[in-house]
Homo-oligomer: A and B are copies of this chain.
Amino acid sequence: MPASAQLDPQWSKRRTEKSRRLALVRHLADGPVLRSDDIVTALEELIAPGDRVALEGNNQKQADFLSGALARVNPAKVNRLHLIMPSVSRPEHLELFERGIARKLDFSYAGAQSLRIAQLLQDGLLEIGAIHTYLELYARLYLDLTPNVVLVAAFKADRQGNLYTGASTEDTPTLVEAAAFRDGIVVAQVNQIVDDPGQLPRVDIPGSWIDFVVQSEQPFFLEPLFTRDPRLIKPVHILMAMMAIRGIYERHQVQSLNHGIGFNTAAIELILPTYGERLGLKGKICKHWTLNPHPTLIPAIESGWVKSVHCFGGELGMEDYVAARPDIFFTGRDGSMRSNRALCQLTGQYAIDLFIGSTLQMDGLGNSSTVTRGRLSGFGGAPNMGHDPRGRRHASPAWLDLIETDDPLARGKKLVVQMVETFQNGSQPTIVETLDAVEVGRASGMPLAPVMIYGDDVTHVLTEEGIAYLYKARSLEQRKAMLAAVAGVTPVGMTHDPAGTADLRREGLIALPEDLGVQRSEATRSLLAAKSLADLVLWSDDLYAPPARFRSW
């Protein structure tokens, strides 16, 4: 193995440059431990103008001490950075562009900052490489977007740089590997530094992958993104949840699935132990999950519905509950959860029977987007799970059940369900003639309209009116008619000839609640296994500890 010194300089420019930069900050560090007070100076030496920098803004965990420090570097020294971020979520992420420190952005998701990104783009201060799904963004780190520097967050480190990322592992290993193995520089902020590996609960990332650790002033910020208060679940959510269980989960024998954020799917989780139990479905459906640790899944877990849950990330307040249910969740030898967004997305893409999502807008062909005027919110992970993975070769009952021909070369399909109320807040139609995304894409100069889930990937649309079994459509026209038939009084719904509904029902192309044996009168909050977060705490045997902002009972 040639040692660094013997390498041909022509083929080891990255390594030489890394060594040069590391040498500049040695005096600010004790081995791999950087002094917190010197972090701004250190970043000014470690990062060069035009560098590609992967900054850990995740769905939940934020490397906020490092992003804050980066926003304070001297733009005369560090500028025109190309930022690569799974999630753009903090105000200082965009200050970087306002100050000229960063110039280009490749990202997956931008929740609260979506409006400001669009504004900066318009003002010419920010240039977008592309908006990705999570897996695509990770993939490019190993192809054409290899980072020069990676800035991440962990709970703890030892003095050799070994990291404990625990329940909030999320994207960290995937970001770190791309730099650690291509002569990039890895800096991790941690809440606490201990002396020896033995004092870490466990090692999630080896110290040989990390160049520097630095203790942050405050523990990193964690967003409880997946906590839904059952008190806000309305009867219409429950009606739709009943239809989902009867008309989709039971009908196709859905054994493995992903649920996202939202009251619709929270309602499904909360009526499994009541409505689902009465239908005799326990042990038959909804056994394996790729899912953040939703508090609303607690009653189903406690009632024995759930066999396994693999998590993208953690959820604030769920730590002790998860640690107390190791037969269900993935946990380490120390007892705490292990999440891993890359592996969980991979599982959600390739191995589950069903993805069920919600959206802000859907057109008459089932194309949907959460992008609305003036907002570039990105994709996150939904499109990655919300499509039929054509590289899949293993079968499952649900997957096979979607075959509609007797061609010996026919293959099954993942169930991709869109579950939407026809109107939001009673006034804004969800099902529209043209997605705002088309105009946003054009106005922002994007090569394509930012469509979240494409209509031709959607197998079922479920509204409060009924279910359209789109995978059965034999033509584009029929597909439109089926969707319009469950689109209520939206503009798209109004195009539907009610006389056609009977035909579509008879042919099994759509189903109304009564076709599924779902009684509208039964769709009341009394079906919810937990009606409040306090109920969830009770179900959890006091192991679930809701964050303060949810503690209003």
Residues of A within 8 A of B (CB): 1-4, 7-8, 11-15, 106, 129-133, 135-136, 138-140, 142-144, 146, 160, 162, 174, 177, 180-183, 197, 201-208, 255-256, 287-288, 290, 307-308, 310, 319-320, 323-328, 330-336, 338, 340, 342-344, 346-347, 349-352, 367, 379, 383-395, 400, 408-412, 435, 438, 441-442, 447-451, 454, 457
Contacts and interface: CB of A to CB of B under 8 A. Distances in A.
Given A409-B367, A438-B408, A4 B335 contact: yes
Contacts of A412: 448
A15 B331 CA distance: 10
A179 to B, nearest CB: 10
13 contacts: A11-B324, A11-B326, A132-B394, A142-B346, A143-B310, A143-B351, A144-B255, A181-B332, A197-B197, A379-B393, A383-B393, A387-B390, A390-B390
A181 B203 CA distance: 12
B347 A142 contact: yes
A9 to B, nearest CB: 10
A443 to B, nearest CB: 12
A142 B351 CA distance: 9
Contacts of A435: 409
B393 A450 contact: yes
Per assembly, the copies of the chain total 2
A365 to B, nearest CB: 8
Nearest to A129: B394
Contact of A206 (B162, B344, B389): B162
Contacts of A11: 324-328
Contact of A336 (B1, B132, B323): B1
A59 B135 CA distance: 23
B1 A392 contact: no
Given A133-B393, A142-B310, 15 more contacts: A7-B326, A130-B395, A136-B393, A138-B346, A139-B350, A144-B287, A144-B308, A177-B343, A181-B338, A182-B330, A349-B391, A379-B393, A383-B393, A384-B391, A411-B451
Given A2-B324, A202-B206, A327-B13, A391 B136 contact: yes
Interface pairs A-B: 10 shortest CB-CB: A130-B394, A203-B206, A139-B351, A387-B390, A181-B338, A202-B208, A384-B391, A139-B350, A395-B447, A181-B330
A367 B174 CA distance: 34
Nearest to A339: B181
Contact of A143 (B135, B139, B256, B454): B256
B131 A449 contact: no
A143 B290 contact: yes
A342 B332 contact: no
A106, A288, A351, A441, most chain B CB atoms within 10 A: A351
B332 A143 contact: no
Given A183-B326, A391-B133, A457-B390, A408 B142 contact: no
Nearest to A160: B197
A356 B4 CA distance: 35
A205 B206 CA distance: 7
Nearest to A145: B351
Contact of A386 (B15, B351, B391): B391
A455 to B, nearest CB: 8
A354 to B, nearest CB: 12
Contacts of A197: 160, 197
A409 B327 contact: no
A337 to B, nearest CB: 8
A132 B391 CA distance: 9
Contacts of A449: 408-409
A136 B394 CA distance: 8
A351 B140 contact: yes
A411 B448 contact: yes
Contacts of A177: 338, 340, 343
Contacts of A454: 390, 409, 411
Contacts of A106: 394
Contacts of A308: 143-144, 146, 182
B139 A180 contact: no
B144 A351 contact: yes
A340 B107 CA distance: 23
A390 B138 CA distance: 16
A4 B333 CA distance: 9
A272 B207 CA distance: 40
Contacts of A411: 448, 451, 454
A332 B390 contact: no
Given A347-B139, A450-B393, A408 B442 contact: yes
Contacts of A392: 133, 136
A117 to B, nearest CB: 16
Nearest to A140: B351
A344 B174 CA distance: 12
Contacts of A389: 389-391
A357 B338 CA distance: 37
